[in-house]
Amino acid sequence: MRLNDFNPANIRVRDQRGEGGGGGFPGGKGSLGCGGLLIVLAIAYFTGADPAQLLSGLDQAQVSAPQEQAVGGRTAAESCAVNEYSHEACAHLDSLNRTWEPKFKAAGIAFEQPILEFYSREGQSGCGAAQSAMGPFYCPSDEGIYIDTAFYDEMAQQMGAKGDFARAYVIAHEYGHHVQNLTGISRQVRQMQQQNPSRENALSVRLELQADCYAGVWAALNKDRIEAGDLEEGLTAAHAVGDDTLMEQAGRRPVEAAFTHGSSAQRMKWLRIGMETGDEDKCDTFADLKP
């Protein structure tokens, strides 16, 4: 995918890398605004590699409004210039903003840009500890897309998901969760999960597949920058992060009831639907859900 030009002043970026990284983060102990324990579900994790590991981040309090930019002492421009991957992720973020903001405007729904949160190995988020092992994730309470860009190398080397469009898919998928957060879909699903814990995983899968579809919608609406091989890279990445593939890789037998993100076939299917239609209304992954 040919990268778009972007102005770092127009995107929201924070950086926990390097000296002082993580310091000054305004979160973790914020007051519970909703009465009782607020469950921040594991809707957001990209790989779903180890659900048990994710549980640590599930019961965190929401934090107050995020502090913007330069937490680690860097400006957005500096954060985006730390390395190639950072630059690329910032460009993806800007492109995603440009694609999604007009859609919200048109629908009359309030839009807010998410914050791209760079961290390295261990960081903090409004949803608890950010750890590289979790893979990239979105935290609804602080609207942060959290990424340790070392994940991109891991994805290429260990998961066989190479290429710039595979990386674009990662950010676009997390952005999909931001869209779900703004539209209220994720909140609705959270309520359904609380009412019916036995369907928690099945509902999580729908949410994840929708985020994949939204990633495809973004790609479709930026066709002019798609290059030969991009779509294949995206589909390969979607296959690589399927629950069955991840479980097999980990030496476990795939058990559908334990899926939280969807099978490889499902993830490829929904990414493709987004890419082929460019229409978020076609991303109704809940349509066939039995009452």
Q: Which amino acid is at 141?
A: S
Of 208, 172, 192, 8, residue with least CA distance to 96:
172
Query: Toward Zn ion, which CB reaches closer, 44 or 275?
Result: 44
In the complex, least distance from residue 45 CB atom to Zn ion, rounded to whole angstroms: 6
Q: In whole angstroms, how close is the CB of 234 to Zn ion at the nearest point?
A: 15
Please, what is the minimum distance in Å from the beta carbon of residue 181 to Zn ion?
12
Q: Residue 147 gets which letter from DSSP?
A: E
How far separated are the first and last CA of the chain, in Å rounded?
A: 40
Q: Round to whole Å and give the CA distance between 42 and 252.
A: 21
At 187 the three-state DSSP class reads helix
Q: Could you give the 3-state DSSP secondary structure of residue 149?
A: coil
> Binding string to Zn ion for residues 210 to 249, with x set by CB under 5 A, is what?
-x--------------------------------------
- For residues 85 and 167, is the Cβ–Cβ distance under 8 A? yes
Which residues from 177-216 bind Zn ion, rule CB under 5 A?
A: 208, 211
Residue 52, token pair as written in the block? 């048990």
Q: Which is nearer to Zn ion, 43 or 71 (CB)?
A: 43
In whole angstroms, the minimum distance from the beta carbon of 138 to Zn ion comes to 7
Question: Measured from the CB of residue 211, what is the shortest distance to Zn ion in angstroms?
Answer: 5
- The answer to whether the beta carbons of residues 152 and 128 sit under 8 Å apart is no
Least distance in angstroms from the C-beta of 10 to Zn ion:
25
CB burial class (10 A; 0-12, 13-18, 19+) of residue 113? middle
143 vs 208, beta carbon nearer Zn ion: 208
Q: Give CA separation, 10 vs 13, 76, 97, 98, 182, in Å.
A: 10, 9, 10, 10, 19
The smaller minimum CB distance to Zn ion, of residues 74 and 177, is found at: 177
CB of 55 to Zn ion, least distance (A): 16
Place of tokens 């778009």: 4
Rg of the chain over Cα atoms, rounded to whole angstroms, equals 18
Nearer to Zn ion, 14 or 178 (CB): 178
Centroid of chain to Cα 243: 16
The whole-angstrom separation of Cα 135 and Cα 31 is 27
For Zn ion, the closer of residues 208 and 230 by Cβ is: 208
Indicate the residue among 117 and 208 with the shorter CB distance to Zn ion: 208
Binding site for Zn ion (CB under 5 A): 208, 211
